[in-house]
Structure 1
Amino acid sequence: MNGTNQTDPACTQEPLPAIHIISKLDIFGVILYSTLTFMASVSMLLFIEECVYIYRKVSSNKKSAIIWVNGAAPVIGAMSCLGMWIPKATMFTDMFSTTYFAIVVFKFLILMIEECGGDEFFLKHSANETFKISTGPCCCCCPCLPRVPITRRSLFMLKLGSFQFALLKMVFTILSIVLWTNGNFDVTDVKISSPALWINTSVGVLTIIALWPVGIMFMHVRDTLRSLKIVPKYAMYQLVLVFSQLQTAIINILAMNGTIGCSPPYSSQSRGYLMSQQLLIMEMFIITLVTRLLYRRHYDPIPYSDGEEKKNIVLASSDKTIV
C-alpha cells in the first residue's frame, strides 16, 4: 500500500487550492466542513464575548493574562479551520498557532502569580519557602535536586525561562517565513543540513525549557489557589499543549513516513494535515466551553491561615475582581 502511495502521481502533488477543495466536496464533506467551521466560529464568538466580560469585570493586573490564556483554544481552532479550507496556508496557520501558544505559556505563569496577589505579595508571603525544581518536563526524574529559595531573583529566572520561548518563537517564525520565501525552508526536509530541522529542534528544546518554570510555579501554588480552580485550569492548559503540539507532531510524522495513506486528490502529507486540523477544531471547541466555565466566575478569597493581615490583603485585592 505504501509503495503504491509513493508512486501514485496524486500522492506527490502540492497542497490543493481552496477552490479545488470546495469543488470536490460531496454531501458528507459539505456537512463535515460546515459543522467544523461552525464550531470554530462559535469558539471565536465565545472568546470575543469573554474578552468583553473580562475587560469589564476583572482587575487590570489580571486582564491581559486571563484574555491570552482564554484565547488559546479558540485561536488554535480558528487557525486550524483556515488551514482546513486553505491547505496551502497550513504552514502559516500552524506557525501562528504555535507562536500564540508560546505567549500563552508565559501568560499562564504570570496569571498564577497575579492570582496570589502579584509579585510583591507573593514574595512577602513566600519569603521563607522554597521552589521544588524536580518537576516536569525537565527534571521530574531528579528528586535529589535541591530546593531553591524563593527570592526576587529566582522569581525573575522563572519568568525569564518562559518569556524566552515567547520571544524566540516569534523570531524563529519570522526566520522560517523569510527562508521559505527564498526556497530554503521545507517542513518535510529532515536532512541534517535542512534549516527546518534545526529550527524545529531548537523550538522543541525552547518549549521544554519554557514549560519547566510553569510546572515549578504550579506545584508551589496549587494548594493556595485550589479555591480558584487552578488545577482544572492547568489541566486545560496542558490539554491544549498536548493536542496542538504533541498530537499534531505525531500525525505529521506518520504522514511523512507514509503510514497515513494518500486519498486522491489528497497526498499523504496533505491528508495528515487535514486530519490534524479537523481533530484540533473539535478538541479546541470542547476546551473553549470548559475554559469558559472555569474563568467566568466569581473569584473567592485565597484562604490563608497564618495571619489576619494576609487575609485582609487578599480580600481587598478580591474586591477588584469579578463581582
Structure 2
Amino acid sequence: MNNGSNRTMDPSCMEKPPLAMDIIVKLDIFGIILYSILTFMAAVSMLLFIEECIYIYRKVPANKKSVIIWVNGAAPVIATMSCLGMWIPRATMFTDMISACYFAIVVFKFLILMLEEVGGDEVFLKRAGRHKLRISTGPCCCCCPCLPHVAITRRSLFLLKLGSFQFALLKIVFTILSIVLWTNGNFDLADLSITGAVMWINPFVGILTIIALWPVAIMFMHLRTALRTIKIVPKYAMYQLVLILSQLQTAIINILALKGTIACVPPFSAAARGYMMSQQLLILEMFIITLVTRLLYRRQYDPLPEEEHDDNENTKMVVIPESA
C-alpha cells in the first residue's frame, strides 16, 4: 500500500495487536532484558503487597484493615494488570478496565480511610461539630472561592460518601456495559465518531470521576492538619499520582497513538504500540509508588490525640458561629 510518499506501509500496521507468542518469538536481546525487568518489577510489587496485607492483618485495628489494604493495592494491582497487558496486547482493553474499576473503588476507600483514621463517623462528627467544610476546592470548584462553607452534619457526610461511592458503582456498571457492547461490535476504542459508544461512555465516566474526586479533596482539605501525624499529605499525594499516571497519562498516550503521532513498529500497529508504551511506563511507575506507599502505611496505628479547642488559622477549619 502506497502512502503517497513512495513508501510502503507494513501490513501489520493495519492489523490487530499481535498474539503473545508472536511477541516472544520476535524479542531481541534488549526486548528480553526489558520484558524480564518489567515482569520482575510487577511480581515484586505484588509480593510486597501480599506481605503488607499480612502485616496489616496482624498489626492494624479491625476497622482499618480493609480500607488500608484496598488503598495499598492500587499500585500493585495496576502494575500486575499492566504486565499482563504487556505480554498479551489483545487483552489490554480488559486489563485497563480492571485497573480502572479497582481504582474507582480506591477513590471511595481513601475517603473512608481518612474518616477511620480520625476514629470513624461518630468520632468525626463529634470532633468536627463546631467546624464547617470548605467546598471551594478541586477538581470541581477550585475557581469558586465565593462558595459558602457547609456545616458538618450526618447529611453532609452522607452526601460526601455518596459522591465517591457512585463512581465505584457506576464505573463497574459501565465497564460491564462496555464489554457487552464490545462483544457485539459496538465498542471500539479507535472509533471516535459521534455515533460510537466510546464517545458517549468515556466522557460520562470522566464526569463521574470528577464528581467522585471532589468529596475526597474536600475531606482531605478539612482533615490534613488533624491527620498530619500519620503523613496524610504524602499518602494523598501518592493517591493523586496513581490517578494521574493510570488515567491521564494513559489517555494522552492512547490519543497520540490513535492520531498517528506514535509511529507503527511491526508487529505493533501505532495504536498497539501506544498501549504497549503505556503499560511499560505504568509498571515502572507503580513499582516505585508501591515502595513509597509501603513505607507510608507501615507504622504503629495509635489513636489520634484529642483535638485542641482553639481557633488557630493553621487548623484550616472554619468555626461555626454561635448563632448557627
- The answer to whether TM tops 0.5 is yes
In structure 2, distance between residues paired with 1:139 and 1:259: 34
Q: CA distance change for structure 1 residues 56 and 2 in 2, over 3 Å: closer, same or farther? A: farther
Q: Secondary structure at the match of 1:130?
A: strand
- Contact map agreement 2:164 2:211 (CA 8 A) in 1: yes
Q: Where does residue 47 of structure 1 map in the other structure?
A: 49
For these two proteins, the number of residue pairs brought into alignment is 307
In structure 2, distance between residues paired with 1:6 and 1:258: 16
Residue type at the aligned position of 2:279: Q
Structure 1 residue 249, shift from structure 2 partner: 0.3
- Contact map agreement 2:127 2:307 (CA 8 A) in 1: no
In structure 2, distance between residues paired with 1:135 and 1:226: 19
The 5 A counterparts of 1:27-46 are: 27-46=29-48
In structure 1, distance between residues paired with 2:135 and 2:287: 33
Q: Secondary structure at the match of 1:186?
A: coil
In structure 2, distance between residues paired with 1:143 and 1:3: 55
Q: CA distance change for structure 1 residues 264 and 188 in 2, over 3 Å: closer, same or farther? A: same
Q: CA distance change for structure 1 residues 3 and 173 in 2, over 3 Å: closer, same or farther? A: farther
Runs of 4+ displaced beyond 6 Å: 1-6
- Contact map agreement 1:2 1:261 (CA 8 A) in 2: no
Stretches of structure 2 lacking an aligned partner (at least 5 in a row):
310-324
Residue type at the aligned position of 2:242: V
Structure 1 residue 196, shift from structure 2 partner: 1.4
Q: 1:58 aligns with which of 34, 57, 60?
A: 60
The 5 A counterparts of 1:84-103 are: 84-103=86-105
The 5 A counterparts of 1:8-27 are: 8-27=10-29
Q: Where does residue 182 of structure 2 map in the other structure?
A: 180
User: Which string of whole-angstrom CA distances, capped at 9 and with x for unpartnered residues, describes residues 206-235 of structure 1?
Assistant: 000000000000000000000000000000
Structure 1 residue 270, shift from structure 2 partner: 0.6
- Contact map agreement 1:129 1:149 (CA 8 A) in 2: yes
Residue type at the aligned position of 1:153: R
Residue type at the aligned position of 1:271: R
- Contact map agreement 2:19 2:89 (CA 8 A) in 1: yes
Q: CA distance change for structure 1 residues 146 and 5 in 2, over 3 Å: closer, same or farther? A: farther
Residue type at the aligned position of 1:229: K
In structure 2, distance between residues paired with 1:300 and 1:137: 32
Q: Where does residue 264 of structure 1 map in the other structure?
A: 266
Q: 1:220 aligns with which of 219, 222, 230?
A: 222
Q: CA distance change for structure 1 residues 267 and 228 in 2, over 3 Å: closer, same or farther? A: same
User: Which string of whole-angstrom CA distances, capped at 9 and with x for unpartnered residues, describes residues 97-135 of structure 1?
Assistant: 000000000000000000011000100111111110000
Q: CA distance change for structure 1 residues 5 and 172 in 2, over 3 Å: closer, same or farther? A: farther
Q: Where does residue 294 of structure 1 map in the other structure?
A: 296
- Contact map agreement 1:81 1:278 (CA 8 A) in 2: yes
In structure 2, distance between residues paired with 1:84 and 1:6: 28
* TM-score under structure 1 length normalisation: 0.92
- Contact map agreement 1:2 1:258 (CA 8 A) in 2: no
Residue type at the aligned position of 2:64: K
Q: Where does residue 79 of structure 1 map in the other structure?
A: 81
Q: Where does residue 119 of structure 2 map in the other structure?
A: 117
Q: 2:131 aligns with which of 129, 149, 157?
A: 129
- Contact map agreement 2:107 2:164 (CA 8 A) in 1: yes
Residue type at the aligned position of 2:212: A
Q: CA distance change for structure 1 residues 138 and 2 in 2, over 3 Å: closer, same or farther? A: farther
Stretches of structure 1 lacking an aligned partner (at least 5 in a row):
308-323
Residue type at the aligned position of 1:128: R
In structure 2, distance between residues paired with 1:229 and 1:167: 29
Structure 1 residue 11, shift from structure 2 partner: 1.2
* TM-score under structure 2 length normalisation: 0.92
Structure 1 residue 56, shift from structure 2 partner: 1.4
Residue type at the aligned position of 1:17: L
The 5 A counterparts of 1:233-244 are: 233-244=235-246
Q: CA distance change for structure 1 residues 64 and 9 in 2, over 3 Å: closer, same or farther? A: same
In structure 2, distance between residues paired with 1:77 and 1:4: 42
Q: Where does residue 152 of structure 1 map in the other structure?
A: 154
Q: Where does residue 313 of structure 1 map in the other structure?
A: none
- Contact map agreement 1:47 1:74 (CA 8 A) in 2: yes
- Contact map agreement 1:228 1:300 (CA 8 A) in 2: no
Q: 2:70 aligns with which of 65, 68, 71?
A: 68
Structure 1 residue 197, shift from structure 2 partner: 1.4
